[in-house]
Amino acid sequence: TRYKHRGVTNKRKVILLTCRVHPGETPSSHTLRGFIDWLTSDDPHAVALRLHVTFVIVPMLNPDGCFHGNYRTDSLGTDLNRAWENPTEFEPTLLAVRSLAKTYAEDSTVELDFYIDCHAHTTSKASFLFVNPPEESDSAEAWERVAALPRLVDLNCEGSALGFSLAACKFCSDPSKSGSARHALRDLLLKRGASKAMCYTLEMSFYSPPNAQKTWTATTSNEASYEAFGRAMGDSFADYYGLRSDAAYPRQRAVMTRVERARKNGGVDPESSRKKNGGGSGSFAF
């Protein structure tokens, strides 16, 4: 099936997800399980998404580190999330994922839209996304595209105990993290012609209190809440591809309308409120 997303392309979409490069970040696995359970369910939006999008999921990048009970490293003491630029035979999972990304980037019949590396954060009381600023730094359309997923996740978590914060999301090109998946795969995809692929790091909070709640409780940080977040992430992908009713989800539709408006204006949106600041980072007014 080829899905023509909002009249832009008829290539089949691909979304690549990875998880547990750091063994101790267990909330990420519960989140990914919730997403996979939803994606493979009979939910009509999940069924529609499977028809239109290919999901490539690597649920555990560091199996030996997980087996040994390490917190951050593999069995050789390597932090794999600083080894993505030039992995060796001692980092076989990174080599395999890079090969996968290259294959999809070079396949003219598909379009790799998203890469998301799933982590968990020990100090943030809210879950959030690290977002790569777009290469087309002066393009309102590019900024609206990369901001769409954080906005949609925020809307689909709103009013729940899922603890996602749009305000906590960071548009960041920190050179000290050049060896991380988000940065290294971006560079690989750019070299292979997949310049529009959007790369993120999802950071699930170990605490996950609702916005109005200041302290952790067991009711907001457990397997069920993380799995529910995974389902909300699935709904966000369905919204991005226009697979849920616009009438039933008008605010989600409005997010994608911003993207379309910027595209129709040739990438220059007079209503865009993007700002730039120093240090190679961008802040975006949501």
Q: Is 141 a catalytic residue?
A: no
Instruction: Kindly name the residue from 111, 141, 203, 227 that is annotated as catalytic.
Output: 203
256: exposed, middle or buried (Cβ count in 10 Å: 0-12, 13-18, 19+) = buried
> What percent of the chain is helix, strand and coil (3-state, nearest 5)?
40, 15, 45
End-to-end Cα spacing for the chain: 34
Long-range contacts of 78-83 (CB under 8 A, 24+ apart): 79/22, 80/21, 80/22, 81/21, 81/22, 81/117, 81/179, 81/180, 81/181, 82/177, 82/179, 82/180, 83/179
Catalytic residue numbers, as ranges: 203
